[in-house]
Chain A
């Protein structure tokens, strides 16, 4: 009996050891090291960084570019989930229960399902390069070509500091929507069809159906989507770095925290300072995660 229990413990430990060690070495230990590096003046090439206490954190308080990046992250944190979820819910609803009977999608939904998922299949870098061409400011841009054809002035989608942020947001939404359409479709599929039929027999139209039946039953999935998108908004980097002018410009109008961390580390070689920015970003992200879990605490609907 004792031997059996011991063997079982050994068995479990042997399976857990590898992932736990990997996690400790490649996730936890870099975290801890980043906290330490944040308190040094390390420039990335020397073997002996000097300990300077909280000086880096003092410095970042006055770093206007970094705080601009923070406001962009916060704007994305609010806008990206809202816009993506609204569009994705709308599409998922139409594709699954938006048809005439209320139990199937609109005609051609199989085709749209595939089309909406396309952006998800593309690598982020490819999306970024693709949109550089779409947003080109001359006649060969996909958006400005028609505009100029109509005799209008071309829009500097990426070169006008007032517009560039919205272009980035647009691309992020474009890329994210497909995945959430699929996520919400899966959620919808798990809602029993008889609910929709019952509501229809009681005379509910599509709008009532959506707000009174679909949305409440999907609430859990929407929460998951919200947190995922929130994290995406915090971590957004590749699109900004590859697509925008001057990597976060023009005039810092699209920069985000991750871009500033990268810039300070790998362009200015201020690894200590960049780690300090990373620590700040870490607390922002953890704060967001805790907050969103608190706020979304809500009784499950049992069905």
Chain B
């Protein structure tokens, strides 16, 4: 007979049952209050040094995503160094901003400049609520890097300033201007004689033509990430019903989601979802659908102006990306043809409780120079928020197309902020939009469901509310 050990199985079991429970509760330690570092200017201010940059080092964290980090080390930092040779720049990069930097904030020693972007970015609302964001208003009022007679404020669109404002203070600088639209290949359209649709009927007719041609599917979107589709849906609703549709949604007004223009937009996209989607769309992500477009398996998809750079390794040389805005829906749309959703992204912040926030603001001022922004545009083929920075530079067909769309739109640019303000609402809208497009929810039920979540958030006292 085998000898049973002294520890019985029951005892072992009991021990084993309890140990993994430890993993359930992440070992997040309670924060310790620390004396706030003095943020008094370490050096005198002057016209050339408007914030009073001292000799203390400057720590920069870059989100190493679609744009990489070379733009920081090769363009922005040398430019900063050219003026402040004594300031040591500590450059860092990560794909996991939250994991690396959240403990630094909780510990009271955050770095100066953070490119708080990507899927793992820190929540701006939480940072603002705790006073962690440096007020960048002095940056707006400072003279620009290139011309002492032009203020930084004049280089930026009002929407950039509005979107970067939390609690009445401009504190987040979106550096890249993301221009949303429906993207296609100029070559494919030209070869097949397809025309960019100006009205929704033309759009549906084009989808029908493409479908009948059998060459490719008419339309797709990143089905795994339905925010790629609620974007054109919301822009369409704004075009039909005016900018207030989006303002009401942002402000969590009662019935903002279930408003008439939203219903029309949801019905239109649900029709696309049921008739013209590439097979398997619901289960594909942005890379897979965008690559399918590069392989001429699908004609159109909604995306932002980062698309061209993101796809540069798989795009055929003669593909010639271009985009068109949401077509006219009715004869009496509240906003004209060309209405565009533009939204600054790649969000830079300066930590208020860092050791040297003055240098952080100066770094942003350097980034907003014509040279820095123009070189950046060329390096990563995209458009920055700095007005006129890419003038006279021939960057790429996609950038040209997007820049032209912005120029055509003029004042008719819209944006929304609820998704960044209210994470849980964003996730619910994503889930519901996926269901809308695959036919699991009717347009009415879809809007009612998102409205319900919006109401829930409105009534949750623990969630800080924002207004625009």
Interface residues of A (CB under 8 A from B): 26-27, 30-31, 33-34, 36-37, 41-49, 52, 55-56, 59, 62, 135-138, 144, 154, 156-161, 190, 192, 220, 223-224, 227-228, 231, 234-235, 245-246, 249-252, 258, 261-263, 265-271, 273, 275, 278-279, 281-282, 285-286, 289, 292-293, 297, 303
Assuming the A-B contacts A43-B130, A220-B9, are A269 and B123 also in contact, with contact meaning beta carbons closer than 8 angstroms in the complex? yes
The residues of B that contact A271 with a CB separation of less than 8 Å are 28
Q: Are B126 and A159 in contact (CB under 8 A)?
A: no
The residues of A that contact B102 with a CB separation of less than 8 Å are 44-45, 266
Query: Which B residue sits closest to A226, measured CB to CB?
Result: B13
Q: Are B17 and A292 in contact (CB under 8 A)?
A: yes
Binds A, one of B29-37, B49-57, B181-189, B247-255: B29-37
Assuming the A-B contacts A235-B24, A285-B21, are A47 and B106 also in contact, with contact meaning beta carbons closer than 8 angstroms in the complex? yes
Q: Is B6 positioned at the interface, with any CB of A under 8 Å from its CB?
A: no
Q: Are A251 and B284 in contact (CB under 8 A)?
A: no
User: B212-254 CB contact bits vs A (8 Å, 1 = yes)?
Assistant: 0000000000011110000000000000000000000000000
Q: Are A286 and B283 in contact (CB under 8 A)?
A: no
Partner of B18, one of A55, A275, A289: A289
Smallest distance from the beta carbon of A64 to chain B beta carbons, Å? 9
Smallest distance from the beta carbon of B13 to chain A beta carbons, Å? 6
CA separation between A234 and B19, bound complex, in Å?
13
Q: Are B31 and A250 in contact (CB under 8 A)?
A: no
Q: Are B283 and A159 in contact (CB under 8 A)?
A: yes
The residues of B that contact A286 with a CB separation of less than 8 Å are 18, 21
Smallest distance from the beta carbon of B14 to chain A beta carbons, Å? 6
- 17 additional A-B residue pairs with CB within 8 Å, beyond A235-B24, A303-B1: A30-B25, A34-B26, A45-B102, A45-B130, A47-B32, A154-B280, A159-B224, A224-B16, A227-B13, A227-B16, A231-B16, A235-B23, A245-B223, A246-B434, A250-B282, A281-B25, A282-B24
Q: Are A136 and B26 in contact (CB under 8 A)?
A: no
CA separation between A45 and B122, bound complex, in Å?
9
Smallest distance from the beta carbon of A196 to chain B beta carbons, Å? 16
Assuming the A-B contacts A190-B2, A234-B24, are A48 and B33 also in contact, with contact meaning beta carbons closer than 8 angstroms in the complex? yes
Q: Are B34 and A293 in contact (CB under 8 A)?
A: no
Partner of B423, one of A56, A267, A279: A267
Binds A, one of B154-162, B302-310, B377-385, B425-433: B425-433
Smallest distance from the beta carbon of B167 to chain A beta carbons, Å? 14
Q: Is B132 positioned at the interface, with any CB of A under 8 Å from its CB?
A: yes
CA separation between A56 and B462, bound complex, in Å?
9
The residues of A that contact B17 with a CB separation of less than 8 Å are 227, 231, 289, 292-293
Q: Is B108 positioned at the interface, with any CB of A under 8 Å from its CB?
A: yes
The residues of B that contact A265 with a CB separation of less than 8 Å are 26, 28
Q: Is B98 positioned at the interface, with any CB of A under 8 Å from its CB?
A: yes
Q: Are B2 and A137 in contact (CB under 8 A)?
A: no
Q: Are A293 and B28 in contact (CB under 8 A)?
A: no
User: B52-74 CB contact bits vs A (8 Å, 1 = yes)?
Assistant: 00000000000000000000000
CA separation between A172 and B135, bound complex, in Å?
49
The residues of B that contact A34 with a CB separation of less than 8 Å are 25-26, 28
Smallest distance from the beta carbon of A265 to chain B beta carbons, Å? 7
Assuming the A-B contacts A227-B16, A263-B427, are A33 and B29 also in contact, with contact meaning beta carbons closer than 8 angstroms in the complex? yes
Partner of B431, one of A44, A252, A266, A279: A252
The residues of A that contact B388 with a CB separation of less than 8 Å are none
Q: Is B127 positioned at the interface, with any CB of A under 8 Å from its CB?
A: yes
Assuming the A-B contacts A43-B130, A224-B13, A250-B431, are A245 and B30 also in contact, with contact meaning beta carbons closer than 8 angstroms in the complex? no
B18, B31, B131, B440: which has the most chain A beta carbons within 10 Å?
Answer: B31
For the complex of A and B, the 4 pairs showing the least CB-CB separation, nearest first, are A137-B283, A159-B283, A137-B280, A30-B27
Would you mind naming 15 contact pairs between A and B with Cβ atoms under 8 Å apart?
A: A27-B22, A47-B32, A48-B33, A49-B31, A136-B283, A159-B280, A235-B23, A249-B430, A251-B435, A263-B427, A265-B26, A268-B424, A273-B462, A278-B26, A289-B17
Assuming the A-B contacts A227-B16, A250-B431, A252-B431, are A48 and B31 also in contact, with contact meaning beta carbons closer than 8 angstroms in the complex? yes
Query: Which A residue sits closest to B119, measured CB to CB?
Result: A267
Query: Which B residue sits closest to A189, measured CB to CB?
Result: B2
CA separation between A33 and B23, bound complex, in Å?
14
Q: Are B25 and A278 in contact (CB under 8 A)?
A: yes
CA separation between A273 and B125, bound complex, in Å?
16
The residues of A that contact B130 with a CB separation of less than 8 Å are 43, 45-46
Q: Is B10 positioned at the interface, with any CB of A under 8 Å from its CB?
A: yes
User: B87-108 CB contact bits vs A (8 Å, 1 = yes)?
Assistant: 0000000000011001001101
CA separation between A137 and B434, bound complex, in Å?
15
Q: Are A161 and B462 in contact (CB under 8 A)?
A: no
Q: Are A47 and B123 in contact (CB under 8 A)?
A: no
The residues of B that contact A157 with a CB separation of less than 8 Å are 283
Partner of B16, one of A48, A55, A228: A228
Q: Are A159 and B14 in contact (CB under 8 A)?
A: no
The residues of A that contact B431 with a CB separation of less than 8 Å are 246, 249-252
CA separation between A46 and B32, bound complex, in Å?
9
CA separation between A240 and B456, bound complex, in Å?
26
Assuming the A-B contacts A268-B123, A275-B25, are A250 and B13 also in contact, with contact meaning beta carbons closer than 8 angstroms in the complex? no
Smallest distance from the beta carbon of B110 to chain A beta carbons, Å? 9
Partner of B223, one of A47, A159, A278, A281: A159
Q: Are B123 and A43 in contact (CB under 8 A)?
A: yes
Partner of B9, one of A136, A224, A269, A270: A224
The residues of B that contact A224 with a CB separation of less than 8 Å are 9, 12-13, 16
CA separation between A267 and B124, bound complex, in Å?
11
The residues of B that contact A279 with a CB separation of less than 8 Å are 25
Partner of A246, one of B20, B108, B224: B224
Partner of B440, one of A30, A154, A223, A251: A251
Smallest distance from the beta carbon of B449 to chain A beta carbons, Å? 10
Q: Are A154 and B279 in contact (CB under 8 A)?
A: yes
Q: Is B438 positioned at the interface, with any CB of A under 8 Å from its CB?
A: yes
Q: Are A37 and B123 in contact (CB under 8 A)?
A: no
Query: Which A residue sits closest to B125, measured CB to CB?
Result: A269
Q: Are B123 and A135 in contact (CB under 8 A)?
A: no
User: B449-467 CB contact bits vs A (8 Å, 1 = yes)?
Assistant: 0000000100010100000
Q: Are B31 and A47 in contact (CB under 8 A)?
A: yes
